[in-house]
Amino acid sequence: MPSPDPEMIPLPDESLPPASQFHVYISAITCTYPTETSIPTMFSTQPQVLAARAVKDHNIFTYDQAMKTPEHKDWMQAAEAEISELENLNVWVEVDKNKVQQQGHKIIPCTWVFRLKRYPDGTPKKYKARICLRGDLMETKDDENTYSPVGGFLGEKPNQCLKLLKSIYGSIWAPRLFYNLARSVFEKLGLIKSDVDDCLFYGKNIFVIIYVDDLGVAALDPNDIDKLAADIESHSLTLTKKESFAEYLGIKYTDLPEGSTLANQSGLIKKILLATGMNNCTTASTPALNKDLGIDQEGVPMSEPWSYPSVVGMLLYLRNNTRPDITVAVSQVVRFTHSPKQSHSSAVKIIIRYLKGTINNGTILRIIKSLLTLITTL
C-alpha cells in the first residue's frame, strides 16, 4: 500500500534520505489498455531478474506472459485497479520530462510484477498487479539526490514523466519508510511495540503483527478489531479485510477439538511438488539418509530441470514456519546452492518425497496455562 507524503513520515534511520531529497521521477508507459488481439510492446519492458523468476515460479508472470494466459482479463483488471488506486492516492504528478532532465535528474524505468496469490491448498485466490520502482537503478550515495521511477500511463504525453510523491514498491527505502509509518500510526493509537519482536504490537486485549504490508490482528472481542481497522484507515492507510486469520502468509490454521491449533502449509508442499515435477512420486518415510551429505567434488553436476536454489528456498520457508522436522535435512542441502551436484538434488528429492507422504502434518500450538507449547506432528 502506498504511504502518505514523505514529509509526514518520521525518518529516525540516518541511512534514509531527508524528505527534501525524496523526489522520484518515473518514466511513462502506454495508457492504451490491450484487448485480446492488441498487446502493446511498451508494456513488456521487464527486468531480467523478473523474467528469470517467472520461469522458475509458476505464480509470477511478466506482462507478456500474463496477457497470453486464459486469465488475461483478470490480470488486466488487476493492472487497472493498481493504476486507479495509485492515482486516487495522489502518488504522482505529471511533470515535463525535458525540464527534469535539464535539472540533472535521472528518470528510471518502471516494471510490472504480476503474481497469483493462492490459498494454502494451492487454489487461485487473487490476481495481483504491482507497478514497482527499478530500485536496482537507484543511486545510494548519501551526498546525492536519488531519483528513480514507477510507471504511469502517459501514452498521449510522450514529453511528460511522473514525479513520485509517495513511496511505493521497489524503492530501496520503501520497506523502512513503510515500517516507520506503520509503527508511528500504531503508537498513536496506543499500541506498544514488543521488546522482543519489532513487528509485534499489543494493546489491551489486542495483538497486531506486521509482515511487510500484511497485518494480522487478534483480539478477544471482534469489535475491537473493527475499531482498530477503522482507526488505522483514518490515518490514510487502506486496509482490505480478509475472511479470517486462518490463511495468514500462506499458513493454514485449523482449530482442533482439544483446543489446540494446527499450523499447516500443504499448499506450499503442493507448489514444491509442481515445481519439481514430482506430483506422482513415491513417498519416503524419512526426510534424509542416515549419513552426512558431502561436498561431492568429483560428483556429476545436477541435471534436474528445476532450480535448486528456488526449491531449497521454499523448503527453508516451510521449515522455518511449520515443519521443523525437516530442519536437519534442509540444513544439509542448503549448503550447496552455489554448485549443486546430482547427489545434492537427490537429497532434495528425498525431502520432497517425505513431504508428500506427510503433506497434512504441521505444527500444533497448544496453550497450557501461561505456557505456549509447540508440537510437531510426525
What confidence score (pLDDT) does residue 377 get? 59
What confidence score (pLDDT) does residue 230 get? 94
Looking at 172, 202, 224, the residue that finishes a domain is 172
What confidence score (pLDDT) does residue 121 get? 63
Is residue 362 included in any domain, yes or no?
Answer: no
Is residue 197 included in any domain, yes or no?
Answer: no
CB 283, CB 353: distance < 8 Å: yes
Same domain (yes/no): 158, 284: no
Is residue 215 included in any domain, yes or no?
Answer: no
Strands 28-29 and 152-153: parallel
Looking at 115, 137, 172, the residue that finishes a domain is 172
Over the stretch 52-86, which tens digit does the pLDDT of each residue have? 444 456 788 888 888 888 998 999 999 889 988 88
Same domain (yes/no): 157, 282: no
Is residue 328 included in any domain, yes or no?
Answer: yes
Is residue 247 included in any domain, yes or no?
Answer: no
Over the stretch 5-56, which tens digit does the pLDDT of each residue have? 333 333 333 333 333 333 445 544 322 222 222 222 222 233 444 444 444 5
Is residue 13 included in any domain, yes or no?
Answer: no
Grid cell in block for residue 313: 528456498
Grid cell in block for residue 191: 499500541
* Regions in the chain scoring below 70 on pLDDT: 1-57, 119-122, 139-158, 243-244, 246, 369-378
Is residue 66 included in any domain, yes or no?
Answer: yes
3-state SS, residue 135? helix
How far, CA to CA in Å, does 229 sit from each of 89, 191, 217? 18, 13, 9
Give me the number of domains the chain comprises: 2
Full domain range(s) for residue 163:
23-172
Closest CA to 45 of 119, 131, 121, 127: 131
Taking the model in full, what pTM does it have? 0.62
DSSP string, 342-372: HHHHHHHHHHHHHHHHTTT--EEEEEETTEE
Same domain (yes/no): 166, 276: no
CB 214, CB 178: distance < 8 Å: no
Same domain (yes/no): 44, 164: yes
Looking at 123, 154, 172, the residue that finishes a domain is 172
Is residue 268 included in any domain, yes or no?
Answer: yes
Same domain (yes/no): 29, 141: yes
Same domain (yes/no): 168, 276: no
What confidence score (pLDDT) does residue 149 get? 32
